[in-house]
Amino acid sequence: SFPRIFYHKMVQKEKTLERTPVESEPNPSPVSGEACAAGPGLLEESGGIIVETTGHRKFISGVVEGFYGRPWTMEQRKELFRRQQKWGLNTYLYAPKDDYKHRMFWRELYSVEEAEQLMTLIGAAKEYGIEFIYAISPGLDITFSNQKEVTALKRKLDQVTHFGCKSFALLFDDIDHNMCPADKEVFSSFAHAQVSITNEIYQYLGEPETFLFCPTEYCGTFCYPNVSQSPYLHTVGEKLLPGIDILWTGPKVVSKDITVESIEEVSKILRRAPVIWDNIHANDYDQKRLFLGPYKGRSTELIPRLKGVLTNPNCEFESNFVAIHTLATWYKSNMNGVRKDVVMSRQVPQSGAKSTVIDVSSMAPPTLCSDTTVTTVFQQPIMSPAMPPQLLEPHLMAKTPEQEEEKKDSDEEPMEMVVEKQEEPDVEASTEPKPEGPILADKMAEDLKPMDTDKESLAESKSSEESIQEDPGSDIAPMQTDDQLKQDVFAPGPNEKPLFAVEPLSIEDLCLLAELFYLPYEHGPKAMQMLKEFNWLRANSSVVSVNRKMKEDEKVAEWQLRAEKFEDMCCSVIQMFTRLSNSANRTILYDLYPYIWDIKSIISMVKSFVQWLGCRSQSSAQFPKGDQEPWAFRGGLAGEFQRLLPIDGANDLFYQPPPSLPTSKIYSIRPYFAKDEASVYKICKEMYYEGMEDAPSSEQESDLIGDKLVGGLLSLSPDYGFVLEDDEGICGYALGTVDVKPFIKKCEMSWIPFMQEKYLKPDGQKDLTEAEKMILSFHEEEEGLPESFLSNFPSLIKVDIHAKVTDPSVAKSMMGCLLSSLKANGSQGAFCKVRQTDKRMLDFYSKLGCFEVAKMEGFPKDVIIMGRSL
């Protein structure tokens, strides 16, 4: 095969590797999908101001696969090329951090099998008219002054050249600034070392038309002491050969906004227009975050001031439709280099085939002029419910012949046309109110690795909400690995509601999904509304507390109305999860599932907690302060809801990994009511005798287990009770009392006498059955736990879930709800009692974060006490 012949030649060639640079090949004609934007050639200074020279140059636009995490598959990359060609993007930069031969072991040549894959990929990029740029990151351990190291780098790039690659990038990002002693003797600075090897490689390869360099100071916050005074950047700008383009991420690693002023500043230092490596949709620094919002925060006035833009999107390939499509829309809106910002507009699908158009405010700050409107034609991405369900895909649907005919020309590219903005646009007004703009953040996550997103305060953005609804109709079905097109619609498994299989995803579901996972510094409007409402319900819960001093009907009614609306919002999230989980498009589902599972789990817990607040909370309920700046912590929207619950620090209860196979099975948690008593008793009894043979048989003893283990809590402390339900009814419970000492006194006064009357004292002289021992306990005084223990663990809890429930996450949610209610009402610790022989419950509570408390004087002998601090 070709690679084997190539390796043989490489061995012969090593001795003569220090060849003279090859002559540059003539520039090829622009490939399909390339756009040559009018804009600056070389930048010249005139009185200290950057001005353009005339001429045309290619604008690099596309995708960089540059994240930390599992690289995309070859099939996914080919699908990316197809989409890029369709949408008018022209470049793919290969730089996956976890391809060890790209970064960690950069000296190693590719094997025969790897070479064949790369050749196939480079060929596929060429077939679709996409420029393939191979990036290599030798900066972790290269010795710049060692000629053997330089030779190894040349040999590696020679190999890739023989694969058919003509464009390259040298990356020196995310590495230590310090040089080794050998390099310090040769180079006056780190920048000089990098520039020296980059220039040598560039010339060795014949000065390719596209050659990129990523500096170690690749964003404003990494520049010391700042951009304009950075010796490193000044050296790069002065010494790097002018044909080499420089990558730049903006003011920060993940930049909320990239302004014209910031680009003009760095362009002056670099002596060339930069290529933006844009991390706005990168999610490799937080496993709970996904970004489905549009490309924004970058004025279209940037386009003529840049050499290109490459987006480094989400690790999950199928989640990047909006990220890449809106980048294409942004670029095509000003590809001719007009120095005015462009206002985006979108079409909002209605129930029929036709759509109305509404204006969407500019993605740039309103201080920028907006003379033109870009009209983007979009098609409704979801089949109407009347459509056959087997055609259902989450956001990319097959089109009917009528729809195809109607849109045969307009769906080829994201941007149909650029038109002059009229004073009164001739469009129909949408009947739906515009959503309020999302509240913007002042901080980004702290200590995020490996892409350390920005730690300092951000200037509050003035940009208004802009959301571009994509044209999924313009894209045929995405790459499928499971022969989806040959299969019927997904059939629910055991215990899953078949009802959901025929419920298609709605456009509202997809809008909600995108707004829950929007952008690094913004949640979408619906997500912000949910946070705002939950904050308000917590702050005003005293008006509906069980011990409020006076009943204010008007305030109670307002709280209950807002709580009802909030619960509806929570239900819409859970319904979206269910419908998406039953989607026929499993490829997209597998990419999204961990994220929708996570948000569904926390929203379910929050919904249950709000229900409890409305009927069981005390007026003195305490909550963590809700005034932290959003985005100052990890976890995205789910993390923010976690921090608003009383047990915000109980990370183990919020860590609920999704099942290995997606399921749409939904459980709900709600406060306990008196009508639930029989169901709780039934579960208590069944689970007590799980695996045991001597279950009580007499009619009188049928309630005995429940009376002994949960009856007192249900009767005297119902305010801290929760039940778990599925579609068949109650299948679990979580009970507790905030302070066990007064609870025990109440039991002695009312519950124990009632039990003594119900169950006659057995004869203690004979051998007693298990049931008789239990009855006897009602007639004997129980020892109290020592004060030294109860001062730290005042709350008694009892949690159990039926054996048929196989989802381990619901137990954590149940415990989360129970502990939240206890902590809100003042508890600082909880404990439970487990029989020494009950291995199942010992294991159950251990997995819920309870630990066995060391034996103390006063502890019962046949019971293990397990505790958990709050």
List of residues 6+ apart from 371 with CB closer than 8 A: 340, 420, 421
Going from the C-alpha of 400 to that of each of 237, 404, 476, 486, 799, the distances in angstroms are: 54, 6, 12, 18, 53
Residues 706 and 640 in one domain: no
Domain of residue 781: give its range. Answer: 669-691+702-806+828-869
* Residue 496, pLDDT score: 54
For residue 98, give the CATH number of its domain: 3.20.20.80
The DSSP output letter for 613 is H
Residues 307 and 159 in one domain: yes
Model confidence pLDDT, tens digit, residues 94-150: 998 878 899 889 999 999 999 999 999 999 999 999 999 999 999 989 999 999 999
* Residue 116, pLDDT score: 95
- Average the pLDDT over 584-591 and give the result: 90
* Residue 444, pLDDT score: 34
Catalytic residue ranges: 174
What is the distance between the alpha carbons of residues 811 and 501, in angstroms, rounded to a whole number?
Answer: 26
Do the domain assignments include residue 613? yes
What is the distance between the alpha carbons of residues 474 and 456, in angstroms, rounded to a whole number?
Answer: 40
> Per-residue confidence at 625, pLDDT binned at 50, 70, 90?
low
List of residues 6+ apart from 32 with CB closer than 8 A: 85, 128, 129
Do the domain assignments include residue 15? no
Q: Contact, 737 vs 743, CB < 8 A?
A: yes
Do the domain assignments include residue 517? yes
Neighbours of 632 (CB within 10 A): 17
Percent of the chain exceeding pLDDT 70 equals: 71
Model confidence pLDDT, tens digit, residues 834-860: 988 888 899 999 999 999 988 777 777
Name the helix (H) or strand (E) containing 735.
strand 729-737
Quick one: which of 351, 362, 337, 432 has its CA closest to 386? 351
3-state secondary structure 483-526: CHHHCCCCCCCCCCCHHHHHCCCCHHHHHHHHHHCCECCECCHH
- Average the pLDDT over 855-870 and give the result: 83
Model confidence pLDDT, tens digit, residues 809-833: 999 999 999 999 999 888 999 999 9
Going from the C-alpha of 366 to that of each of 234, 362, 458, the distances in angstroms are: 33, 7, 18
Residues 174 and 243 in one domain: yes
Is residue 317 predicted with pLDDT exceeding 50? Answer: yes
What is the distance between the alpha carbons of residues 415 and 328, in angstroms, rounded to a whole number?
Answer: 8
Residue with tokens 């069981």: 616
Query: For residue 346, what are the β-bridge partners?
Result: 358
Residues 613 and 679 in one domain: no
Residues 618 and 675 in one domain: no
* Residue 305, pLDDT score: 95
Do the domain assignments include residue 854? yes
Domain C-terminal end among 313, 337, 361: 337
Give Cα 144 distance to the centre of its chain. Answer: 39
Residue scoring higher pLDDT (499 or 786): 786
The total of structural domains in the chain comes to 3
* Residue 464, pLDDT score: 32
What is the distance between the alpha carbons of residues 233 and 266, in angstroms, rounded to a whole number?
Answer: 9
Quick one: which of 30, 95, 37 has its CA closest to 68? 95
Quick one: which of 444, 451, 414, 445 has its CA closest to 315? 451
Residues 167 and 90 in one domain: yes
* Residue 769, pLDDT score: 82
Q: Radius of gyration over alpha carbons of the chain, in Å?
A: 32
Q: Contact, 525 vs 437, CB < 8 A?
A: yes
Do the domain assignments include residue 345? no
What is the distance between the alpha carbons of residues 781 and 758, in angstroms, rounded to a whole number?
Answer: 17
Q: Contact, 684 vs 838, CB < 8 A?
A: no
Residue with tokens 């990419």: 591
For residue 851, give the CATH number of its domain: 3.40.630.30
Name the helix (H) or strand (E) containing 213.
strand 211-214
Model confidence pLDDT, tens digit, residues 281-305: 999 888 889 999 999 999 999 999 9
Domain C-terminal end among 278, 305, 337: 337
Quick one: which of 782, 807, 768, 798 has its CA closest to 681? 798
Residues 262 and 120 in one domain: yes
Least confident of 126-130, 257-261, 384-388, 762-766: 384-388
Residue 225 preceded by cis peptide, ω within 30: yes
Residues 181 and 314 in one domain: yes
Quick one: which of 560, 570, 581 has its CA closest to 512? 570
Residues 715 and 643 in one domain: no
Model confidence pLDDT, tens digit, residues 385-421: 333 333 333 333 333 334 444 433 333 344 333 333 3
* Residue 799, pLDDT score: 94
Residues 837 and 859 in one domain: yes
Q: Contact, 389 vs 502, CB < 8 A?
A: yes
3-state secondary structure 763-800: CCCCCCCHHHHHHHHHCCCCCCCCHHHHCCCCEEEEEE
What is the distance between the alpha carbons of residues 592 and 394, in angstroms, rounded to a whole number?
Answer: 11
Domain C-terminal end among 337, 371, 400: 337
Residues 620 and 707 in one domain: no
Tokens of 291: 């970004």
What is the distance between the alpha carbons of residues 166 and 6, in angstroms, rounded to a whole number?
Answer: 17
Residue scoring higher pLDDT (609 or 99): 609
Neighbours of 682 (CB within 10 A): 17
Q: Virtual CA dihedral for 59, 63, 66, 72, nearest 10 degrees?
A: -150
| pTM for the predicted model, two decimal places | 0.75
Is residue 163 predicted with pLDDT exceeding 70? Answer: yes
Model confidence pLDDT, tens digit, residues 638-657: 988 988 898 878 888 888 88
Residues 572 and 649 in one domain: yes
* Residue 783, pLDDT score: 78
Do the domain assignments include residue 757? yes
* Residue 653, pLDDT score: 87
Least confident of 567-581, 679-693, 810-824: 679-693
Do the domain assignments include residue 52? no
Residue scoring higher pLDDT (52 or 634): 634
Do the domain assignments include residue 251? yes
For residue 519, give the CATH number of its domain: 1.20.58.240
The DSSP output letter for 209 is S
Angle between the N-to-C axes of helices 586-616 and 809-824, in degrees from 0 to 180, rounded to the nearest 10: 30
